[in-house]
Chains A and B, each alone.
Chain A
């Protein structure tokens, strides 16, 4: 998942070490757990039907008894509720390893832990990580597979988008008199020292997307992120940009009165700070940029049935509505609105979008990342 931020601590590759120590033991363990699941070998099942139906899957998952997820922060898109609901529903214990980790750490864990019993069963990662590492994931199609648009899934089923959001402008109304609703307004001198990104765009996908949205508002395109870099260079040069990352503590203290971040992160700040100030969330009128995260099952998942049941749960209307409650936009939202299975109360709380977003291709993402990596630091000095 990727919370990118929220934890700027020094990180080491300590996890790799555990492999060295526990490697051999784990292979034996995993081999035995695979054999124990009875008639169906769920680690190769490509759908619930192909493995003998949902009730067989539930039975096998309950027999496994545990599920390892990784980097799912409790207050991110309501993951805490997803986990506790799943635990209650099926009596399966969910271990959330490294809840504040990043996409890269999830991939590293999958690679390093192999089929050990504590390896992640499932991941929730940035799109480019899913594409680059598709060979690590098991092909599987959830029951609602056809409700996921073709552009949002791997044809073989090794990953598929789960939820996403739009780049938005969060704003503290007790400090800022008139909150900006577009990138164009942000160059106004009245926003001196006001505007922050939630993290550096070289680290966090959310901030990276913020720069891309700024590019769209300033004559750029999905093929050209440069105007976004130039835009923030101008903000920095004119003194409107605050270097402090717009982390929750910086928002609470007033140091970053305007923060560009995913709408679900900004919407969560509204609730966190409601006792002190009003935090409004707007999707910029001059740029709609959205991105989805991707779900995938570890091909060596130590709990193969529980992993598949977890995905079935997340993509059922129940799981999708929980993400919606966390202000994220579940991938099946359009079809759920049509079929009426959407929770209308939560749907109304989403910040309105004027223009639907278009999504970049992987080649465009790679090119934009390379440009940011090369130019961001220099553009800010």
Chain B
């Protein structure tokens, strides 16, 4: 889930706040180490990926790698499946995340529920990858703890058609980290909804529905959409969770990249893997720009 950390770095700074504080001369020296770090560990690999995608192993310019990714059905279906799983799990995660965040925010700032959910979400949003996959196998797998307990009370998960080694299993695991991430993303926006607005609306004769429709929804919409975009990027770049649960049965783009650039079977297909990487970078870049724009709107009411 490295993508989230990267995306968060890119939160646009509020220009008004910058004017108010004023930036002292020479302050740029402070960001030199960080800039170097980014150049070496992001810029370098980025150059390698893009350069490799556009060149043959001999070093001459080529479009072959990209044309392969567009013409071969397995790569196309990988993109479709990656997009599908990202959309489905970000919508599910977004829905339940907003629901949970609403419940928590209405519980009031001092309620224990809020503190528990807040810190829980902070931890669980980053619980992903192989550990998450094996946690699911140990819980809901064929001989998992929950499966066994349910078996004792007469519920046979296996016979009911549920199987953790399936697309449903992978989506379930993804939603597990998507929900808490949405809670983290949306809680500040919900907290920004001032009680006065509601009182004012009610005072002017608005029903609850009218308040939500004309006040809360328009104020929250950019934040919710932005949150959904982040969840999308999060799921799009995720890979290890799915790999440990079902191998390549769920056919995802990062899975192909792994097979192409570091497998033990497909020889000399590096370039196609790099081309897929470039295409993923493009998708994530679009998501980030859209997120940045939405974030600017979302913060307008939250100062």
**Which positions in A face B, CB cutoff 8 Å?**
2, 4, 8-14, 16-17, 20-21, 101-105, 126, 128-129, 132, 175, 193, 197, 199-205, 208, 242-245, 247, 249-250, 253-255, 257, 366, 369, 372-374, 376-378, 380-381
Assess whether A17 is in contact with B258, with CB atoms less than 8 Å apart: no
B286 at the interface (CB under 8 A from A): no
Question: Is chain B's interface secondary structure helix, strand, loop, or mixed overall?
Answer: helix
**Contacts A13-B261, A104-B261 given: A377-B74 contact, CB under 8 Å?**
yes
Which residues in A have their C-beta under 8 angstroms from that of B285? none
Residues on the B chain within 8 Å of A366, using CB: 267
Q: Give the distance in Å from the alpha carbon of A242 to the alpha carbon of B130 in the complex.
A: 17
CA distance A193 to B297 in the complex (A): 50
- Which residue of chain B has the shortest Cβ distance to A131 in the bound complex? B267
In the complex formed, the residue of A with least CB distance to B72 is A374
From A13, A101, A129, contact of B49 by CB (8 A): A13
A279 → B minimal CB distance (Å): 15
Which A residues are in CB contact (< 8 Å) with B165?
242-244, 255
CB distance from A155 to the nearest CB of B (A): 21
Contact B138 A253 (CB under 8 A): yes
Q: Which of B35-54 contact A (CB under 8 A)?
A: 40-41, 44-45, 48-49, 52
Which of A129, A243, A373, A377 makes the CB contact (< 8 A) with B77? A377
Residues in A with CB closer than 8 Å to B264 are: 2, 4, 102-104, 126, 129, 203-205, 208
Please determine whether B267 and A369 come into contact, CB atoms closer than 8 angstroms.
Answer: yes
Q: B248 contacts which of A129, A200, A253 (Cβ < 8 Å)?
A: A200
Sample 25 A-B pairs with CB under 8 A, ordered by A number.
A4-B263, A9-B130, A14-B41, A14-B44, A104-B264, A104-B267, A105-B262, A126-B264, A175-B143, A200-B248, A202-B248, A202-B263, A203-B248, A203-B264, A204-B263, A243-B247, A243-B249, A244-B247, A245-B244, A247-B244, A250-B137, A253-B134, A254-B142, A366-B267, A381-B249
Chain A proximity of B261: nearest CB distance (Å)? 7
* Docked pose: A2 CA to B264 CA in angstroms: 7
Interface residues of B in 78-123 (CB under 8 A from A): 78
Residue on B with the closest CB to A174? B143
A255 to B246 alpha-carbon distance, docked (Å): 11
Q: Mark B237-259, 1 if CB is under 8 A from A, else 0.
A: 00110011111110100100011
* Residue among A17, A126, A200, A376 having the largest count of chain B Cβ atoms under 10 Å: A200
Residue of A nearest to B246 (CB): A243
Which residues in A have their C-beta under 8 angstroms from that of B129? 9
Contact B244 A17 (CB under 8 A): no
Q: Are B265 and A369 in contact (CB under 8 A)?
A: yes
Query: Are B263 and A203 within 8 A (Cβ)?
Result: yes
How many residues in B have their beta carbons less than 8 Å from beta carbons of A?
49
Closest 10 CB pairs of A and B: A254-B143, A243-B249, A243-B246, A8-B243, A17-B44, A205-B264, A200-B248, A243-B165, A203-B263, A255-B141
Q: Which one of B45, B142, B247 has the greatest number of beta carbons of chain A within 10 Å?
A: B247
A257 to B44, CA, bound (A): 44
CA A247 to CA B245, docked complex, whole Å: 10
* Listed residue (A102, A128, A197, A255) with the most chain B CB atoms within 10 angstroms of its CB: A255
CB distance from A309 to the nearest CB of B (A): 27
Q: Is the CB of B137 within 8 A of A253?
A: yes
For B254, the chain A residues whose CB sits under 8 A away are 10
Q: Which chain A residues lie closer than 8 Å to B266 at the CB level?
A: 202, 369, 373
Report chain A residues within 8 Å CB of B45.
12-14, 16-17
Residues of A within 8 A of B265 (CB): 126, 201-205, 208, 369, 372-373
For residue A20, which residues in chain B have a CB less than 8 angstroms away from its CB?
44
Q: Is the CB of A193 within 8 A of B262?
A: no
The residues of B that contact A369 with a CB separation of less than 8 Å are 265-267
Given contacts A17-B40, A193-B142, A253-B134, contact A11 B267 (CB under 8 A): no
Question: Nearest chain A CB to B262's CB is how many angstroms away?
Answer: 5
Q: Are B248 and A377 in contact (CB under 8 A)?
A: yes
A243-B141 in contact (CB<8A): no
- Asked if A11 and B258 sit within 8 Å, CB to CB, the answer is yes
Asked if A8 contacts B143 (CB within 8 A), the reply is: no
Report B122-144 residues with CB < 8 Å from chain A CB. Answer: 129-130, 134, 137-138, 141-144
How many whole Å from A18's CB to the nearest CB in chain B?
9
In angstroms, how far is the closest chain A Cβ from the Cβ of B147? 10
How far, in whole Å, are A372 and B142 apart by their CA atoms in the complex? 29
User: 0/1 per residue, B206-237, Cβ < 8 Å to A?
Assistant: 00000000000000000000000000000000
B268 at the interface (CB under 8 A from A): yes
Which among B144, B244, B262, B274 has the greatest number of chain A C-beta atoms within 10 A?
B262
Let me know if B247 and A199 touch, CB within 8 A: yes
Interface centre among B48, B264, B274 (most CB of A within 10 A): B264
- Cα(A168)–Cα(B266), bound, Å: 22
Residues in A neighbouring B247, C-beta threshold 8 A: 197, 199-200, 243-245
